[in-house]
Amino acid sequence: MDLIFEFLTTLKNTVVDVLPILSIILGFQLLVIRKPIPHIKQVGFGFIYVLIGLALFLLGLEKALFPLGKMMAAQLTAPEFIHAGEQVLTTIHWTDYKWVYVFAAAIGFSTTIAEPSLIAVAIKAEEVSGGAINANSLRIAVAIGVAVGIALGSYRIVVGHPIHYYIIAGYVVVVIQTFYCPKLIMPLAYDSGGVTTSTVTVPLVAALGLGLASTIPGRSPLIDGFGLIAFASLFPIIAVMAYAQLTEARAHRAEQKEEKRNQIKQDKQNKRNLNQKQQDSLKESIEDK
């Protein structure tokens, strides 16, 4: 009974969140476009499904994943776990936090795979590209980017470097990659930075950043706790471009291989023809005799 009540509350909140979008769409459809929405019934049901789905999704996250993930982030960053054997805390070494980096990468990867807005963009990309871009490969590439980004962001909080060095260095990499990236995937790569950080990833990542910044001496949770999200939206761009470059390079190599194989085939064929001709002429000369 409690569960149903909670679900209804979440559903109400979701509807309130969606209300501005809905009123903009309806307003423009009715006042500016002034045509009925095509397949109105199907679209209406689709909207209702999206709302129900989102509410169930959020409720489930609140019930199962968020408390557990946040607790783990707190436990992994707690001084008792990091400095278990030591009595007196003297210095902080960045290698003490190795499990934090592993956790950051793993949780970044896995939450990105489950991120609904990324699923949406990946489905659309596969559809538009006619299957040339595989939705699952794209999601895995983005997830790897987020994993690297969040692990690196955690390292930054531990060592206390200023954030903009990392972000600007990341921009430089993006600029260089842009020159070599296949044109077809570039806009998608830029987009993938923004879609990764929404419903699932942000709360867990924020908990991790906050846990780290509040337990390490000399870090302020309010200043250093921010910033992990920026890492999570920069590195997927690099990862998707790298994925596109790898795919292109592989396709190029396969093409070259194919060409070589054809060349060899052609050579063999030529040789065979030549042999045939020689034999024929030999036969002819024998017959002549």
Partner 1 sequence: MTNQIFVFLKALLGSCKDLLPIILVIAFFQFAVLQQPMPNVGDILVGLALVVLGLTFFIYGLEMGLFPIGESMAQAFAKKGSISWLLTFAFCLGFGTTVAEPSLIAVAKEAAIVAASGGIIADTLESQLSYANGLRFTVAFAVGFAIVMGVLRILRGWPIQYLILGGYVVVVLMTMIAPNWIIGIAYDSGGVTTSTITVPLVTALGVGLASAIKGRNPMIDGFGLIAFASLTPMIFVMIYGMVIS
Question: Interaction with partner 1 in 42-81: which residues (CB under 8 A)?
Answer: 42-65, 68-69, 71-72, 75-76, 81
Residues 24-43 interacting with partner 1 (rule: CB under 8 A): 24-25, 28-29, 32-33, 35, 37-39, 42-43
User: In the block, which residue shows the tokens 């980017």?
Assistant: 145
Q: How far is the CB of 88 from partner 1 (least distance, A)?
A: 24
Considering only residues 88 through 107, tell me which ones interact with partner 1, judged by CB under 8 A.
99, 103, 106-107
CB of 83 to partner 1, least distance (A): 15
Give the residue ranges of DSSP H helices in the chain. 2-28, 40-60, 66-77, 79-82, 98-113, 116-128, 135-159, 163-180, 186-195, 201-215, 221-224, 228-288
| Nearest approach, Cβ of residue 93 and partner 1 (Å) | 19
- In terms of C-beta density within 10 A (0-12 exposed, 13-18 middle, 19 or more buried), how is residue 231 classed? buried
**Minimum separation from the CB atom of position 134 to partner 1 (A):** 14
**What is the closest distance, in whole angstroms, from the C-beta atom of residue 92 to partner 1 in the complex?**
20
Single-letter amino acid code for the residue at 188: L
Residue from 8, 15, 30, 123 touching partner 1 (CB under 8 A): that is: 123
Nearer Cβ to partner 1, position 92 or 117? 117
d(CA 239, CA 246) in angstroms, rounded, equals 10
In whole angstroms, how close is the CB of 42 to partner 1 at the nearest point? 6
What does the alpha-carbon distance between residue 182 and residue 198 come to, in Å, rounded to a whole number?
27
* Cβ proximity of 101 and 155 under 8 Å: yes
List the interface residues with partner 1, window 176-235 (CB under 8 A). 178, 183-184, 186-188, 190-191, 193-199, 202, 222-224, 226-227, 229-230, 232-233
Q: Is 175 in the site for partner 1 (CB under 8 A)?
A: yes
Instruction: Give phi and psi for 143, each to the nearest 5.
Output: -65, -40
Number of residues in contact with partner 1 under rule CB under 8 A: 99
Angle at CA of residue 226, ends 231 and 219, nearest 5°: 115
> Counting contacts by CB under 8 A, is residue 120 touching partner 1?
yes
